[in-house]
Amino acid sequence: MSEQWSTVAELDAARERFEAAVPGWRRPAAFGIARLVAGRPEFARIAAGDGFLPAVVLGTVVGHVSGPASYRLSPAGLDRAIAMLAPANACTSIPHPNLWAWQALRAELGEDEQAIAVFADDLTQDGGDPHVAAMLAEVSAR
C-alpha cells in the first residue's frame, strides 16, 4: 500500500523530509502554478505564506531551491507533482487547495501544453522574471 498522510503531524513530517532532501531549500513567500494563455500565465492557484508542503513538492519536481524563478512544467512533470502530493488526501481535517488546483489544471492541460511553476522568496522582488511579476501582481491585488 502506498504512503498516506492522515494527520496534520504526518503532513508536517512529510514536509520536513522533502525540505531536508533539497540542500539550500528556502520556503517561498509565494508560489503558484499557471497555464500559459496567449503568452500570459493564468494561475490555477497561488499560495502566499502557506502551502509549504506543496511548495517543496513542486520545487523538487522542477529543481527549484530558492529565489524568484519560473519553470516550464510538462504534463508528465505535473503528474509527478500530483502523485508526490497525493498522500495528503488522506488527511481530511484540512483542505488541500494546491493539490486540487493541480489536478484541475492537469485535466485541462493538453499533452502538447506546459504549465508554469512560479516561486518568489520576497513579495516585492520579481528578479526580472515576467511570470514571477505576474504572480506578485495577483498577490498584491488580493
- What pLDDT, on a 0 to 100 scale, did the predictor assign at position 103? 97
| DSSP line for 16-46 | HHHHHTSTT----SEEEEEEEETTEEEEEEE
Q: Judge whether 125 and 67 are in contact, CB under 8 Å.
A: no
- What pLDDT, on a 0 to 100 scale, did the predictor assign at position 1? 45
The reported pTM is 0.93
| pLDDT digit string (tens) for the chain, length 142 residues | 478 999 999 999 999 999 999 999 999 999 999 998 888 899 999 999 998 999 999 999 999 999 999 999 999 999 999 999 999 999 999 999 999 999 999 999 988 899 999 999 999 999 999 999 999 999 999 8
Q: Judge whether 80 and 124 are in contact, CB under 8 Å.
A: no
